[in-house]
Amino acid sequence: MAENTIQASAENKENSFLRYKGYPLVRNKDEIYYGNMTDKYVVWMQITEKTKIGDMNVASKVKIYKMATDEKLNPIEAIVKQSEKNSLYEALDIAYAWLSRK
């Protein structure tokens, strides 16, 4: 019985990721991972600069890296594309284009 509860909790947690255009987003401070780790590629975004607008800090420079999820590759070899954008929206837009192309 307890085993089923743990499985149900894990399934709920997995489905609770914030999503953008169908792909999960996971954020840790100024780093965002976009995509499914079970797919061939994910996108790693680093917020490198912020601008204060009102009482909020908004990303004004974001580095984007398309990375292979193959664990055999070292992190430098895993990067297949990179770019830099001036907003989080622009970064997510290009990241979606990279992941949705087959």
Under 8 Å between Cβ of 94 and 23: no
Nearest CA to 100 out of 22, 17, 3, 6 is that of: 22
Starting at the edge strand that comes first in sequence, how are the strands of the sheet with 56-68 ordered? 18-20, 23-28, 31-34, 41-53, 56-68, 79-85
Under 8 Å between Cβ of 42 and 34: yes
pLDDT in tens, 48-95: 999 999 999 999 999 999 999 999 999 899 999 999 999 999 999 999
pLDDT in tens, 35-56: 999 999 999 999 999 999 999 9
Query: Can you give the pTM of this predicted structure?
Result: 0.79
